[in-house]
């Protein structure tokens, strides 16, 4: 029988009581548990003149969790420094970094990547949460639909080339990469990864941890990895020219390379990697796809209600985003995504979209499914730039990333905006979530 734990609300109450009792140990225990259970990506502990506060970043939005008396703040920060074994409790003048592995009160294994920052009042502590207890779902359940789904499946099954993912913090890019590797993880394939940190330990993968402090960097690891007879190589992040150059050489010598990079969209990755002094012919002949992704809160199916969005300027933007798209491909995309024609018509002509009501439609009490959390689950939004022959030729001619994107959007590409709008029409996302995730393409 599964062990029963208190609810998130009960842990919040225990956190508040610990603050009243000035129990520093329990403050940290309950804080980490609440953060993990609410799917927070970061915890901010911030001092001010007369008080201190704790905020959680949930779905990219910072939310205040609690305020507490300033006289506790120094003890809270010192507690973490002592537990980390990597920070000096007596040093408050300079920033310090630490990595800590610990367990929450719900028996979930987590890693914390923390940094202290001296401010005009006291020290601020920011902690990035990596929940190692999460299981990797199958690629098919991540909401990568039709064209995008077909492109990623074909890309990961190629014998060589680069599959690049670009992402902001907390978009679950790790989940997509692991799910992609799991799809091809067979006894006849040697998959080698180098990660920072190793978030999920998977069977039959050779996983290594970066150790920059001793010179074990991504670039040096890649040189060693190529001597390990790999078929597929996962490089956690492309950060510099040396790592990018090694990754492209690996792709040119019959290896499949999966990696990530920080950019705002798939097309902007071209500009980013060219700024790393990558040669255009190398980009054209090594890259298979570049994928951008976002993560948003899914509308609760139990308590969602239909609203009229005709007066919302963003509604017109959602219609404009399909204007340049090939009509036959648009029609096929609607069919393959199983969008009911009546639902499509209701959105396009009758301005019907959905939002949370947070209340049970039958009793008008708090929704028993999402429990006032505004969501029941998360939904991914994807954009994939496929390096087909047309795109390769444009890249070889050193054409601007903006022009490459325009051509792709006019032919077949489902942008982040388009994918998000499809999911608004299907009732998965509220309209206001779309343009918190992506920019409108004029």
Q: Tens digits of per-residue pLDDT, 54-112?
A: 999 886 778 899 999 999 999 999 988 998 888 999 999 999 998 888 899 999 988 88
Q: Which runs of consecutive H residues, i.e. helices, occur in 59-145?
A: 73-84
- Contact (CB, 8 A) for 384 and 332: no
Task: Confirm if 76 and 45 have CB atoms less than 8 A apart.
Answer: yes
Q: What is the number of other CB atoms lying within 10 angstroms of the CB of residue 206?
A: 14
Name the strand (E) or helix (H) holding 92: none
According to the model, what pLDDT value does residue 405 have? 94
What Rg do the C-alpha atoms of the chain give, in angstroms?
24
**Calculated CA dihedral for residues 229, 223, 287, 177, nearest 10 degrees:** 70
What are the boundaries of each domain within the chain?
Answer: 8-131, 139-292+384-397
Q: Which spans in 143-208 are helix H? A: 146-156, 173-184
The proportion of the chain whose per-residue pLDDT surpasses 70, expressed as a percent, equals: 97
Q: Which residues pair with 358 in a beta bridge?
A: none
- Non-local (6+) Cβ contacts of 317 within 8 A are 435, 440
CATH class for the region spanning 8-131: alpha beta
Q: 269 pLDDT band (50/70/90 cuts)?
A: very high
CATH fold group of domain 139-292+384-397: Rossmann fold (3.40.50)
**What is the structure's pLDDT at 384?**
95
Q: Residue 376's pLDDT is what?
A: 62
Task: State yes or no: pLDDT of 282 exceeds 90.
Answer: yes
Q: Which of these ranges, 220-224, 233-237, 386-390, has the smallest mean pLDDT? A: 220-224
Give residue-wise pLDDT tens across range 403-423: 999 999 998 899 999 999 999
Q: Do domains 8-131 and 139-292+384-397 have the same CATH topology?
A: no
pLDDT of residue 375: 62
Residue 366: pLDDT over 80: yes
- pLDDT surpasses 80 at 163: yes
CA distance 437 to 434: 5
Residue 409 in tokens: 């959007």
Distance in angstroms (rounded) separating the CA atoms of residues 133 and 361: 34
Tokens of 204: 């039959």
Three-class DSSP category at 391: helix
- Other beta carbons within 10 angstroms of residue 159's beta carbon come to 9
**Confidence at residue 174, expressed as pLDDT on a 0 to 100 scale:** 81
Mean pLDDT score of the chain: 89
pLDDT single digits (tens) 35-53 = 999 888 899 999 999 999 9
Mean per-residue pLDDT for 300-314? 90
The CA–CA distances, whole Å, from 308 to 294, 313, 402 equal 26, 12, 34
Phi-psi region of 123 (alpha: psi -120 to 50; beta: other; left: phi over 0): beta
DSSP string, 361-377: TTT-SB-TTTTTSS-SE
Place of tokens 């890249």: 395
Q: What gap in Å lies between CA 63 and CA 181, rounded to an integer?
A: 34
């Amino acid at each position: 029988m599964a062990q029963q734990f208190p609810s998130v609300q009960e842990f919040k109450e225990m956190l508040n009581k610990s603050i009243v009792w000035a129990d520093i140990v329990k403050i940290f225990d309950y804080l980490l548990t609440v953060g993990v259970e609410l799917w927070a990506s970061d915890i901010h502990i911030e001092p001010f003149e007369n008080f201190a506060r704790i905020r959680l970043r949930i779905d990219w939005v910072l939310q205040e969790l609690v305020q507490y008396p300033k006289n506790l703040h120094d003890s809270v920060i010192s507690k973490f420094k002592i537990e980390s074994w990597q920070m000096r409790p007596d040093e408050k003048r300079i920033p310090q970094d630490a990595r800590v592995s610990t367990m929450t009160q719900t028996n979930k294994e987590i890693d914390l990547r923390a940094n202290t920052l001296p401010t005009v009042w006291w020290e601020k502590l920011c902690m990035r949460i990596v929940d190692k207890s999460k299981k990797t779902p199958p690629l098919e359940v991540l909401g990568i639909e039709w064209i995008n789904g077909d492109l990623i499946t074909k890309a990961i099954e190629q014998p060589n080339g680069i599959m690049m993912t670009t992402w902001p913090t907390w978009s679950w890019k790790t989940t997509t990469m692991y799910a992609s590797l799991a799809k091809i993880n067979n006894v006849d394939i040697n998959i080698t990864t180098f990660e920072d940190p190793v978030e999920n330990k998977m069977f039959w993968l050779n996983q290594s941890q970066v150790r920059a402090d001793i010179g074990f960097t991504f670039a040096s690891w890649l040189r060693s990895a190529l001597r390990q007879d790999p078929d597929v190589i996962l490089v956690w992040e492309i950060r510099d020219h040396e790592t990018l150059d090694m990754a492209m050489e690996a792709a040119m010598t019959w290896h499949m390379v999966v990696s990530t990079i920080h950019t705002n969209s798939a097309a902007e990755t071209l500009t980013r990697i060219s700024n790393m002094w990558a040669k255009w012919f190398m980009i054209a002949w090594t890259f298979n796809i570049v994928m951008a992704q976002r993560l948003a809160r899914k509308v609760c199916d139990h308590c969602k209600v239909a609203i009229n969005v005709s007066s919302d300027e963003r509604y017109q933007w959602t219609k404009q985003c399909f204007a340049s798209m090939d009509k036959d491909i648009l029609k096929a995309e609607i069919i393959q995504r199983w969008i009911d024609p009546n639902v499509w018509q209701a959105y396009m002509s009758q301005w019907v979209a959905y939002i949370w009501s947070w209340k049970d439609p039958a009793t008008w009490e708090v929704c028993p499914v999402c429990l006032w959390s505004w969501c029941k689950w998360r939904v991914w939004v994807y954009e994939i730039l496929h390096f087909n022959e047309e795109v390769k030729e444009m890249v070889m001619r050193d054409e601007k990333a903006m022009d490459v994107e325009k051509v792709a959007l006019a032919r077949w590409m489902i942008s982040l905006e388009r994918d998000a709008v499809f999911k608004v029409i299907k009732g998965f996302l509220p309209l206001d979530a779309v343009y918190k995730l992506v920019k409108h393409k004029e």
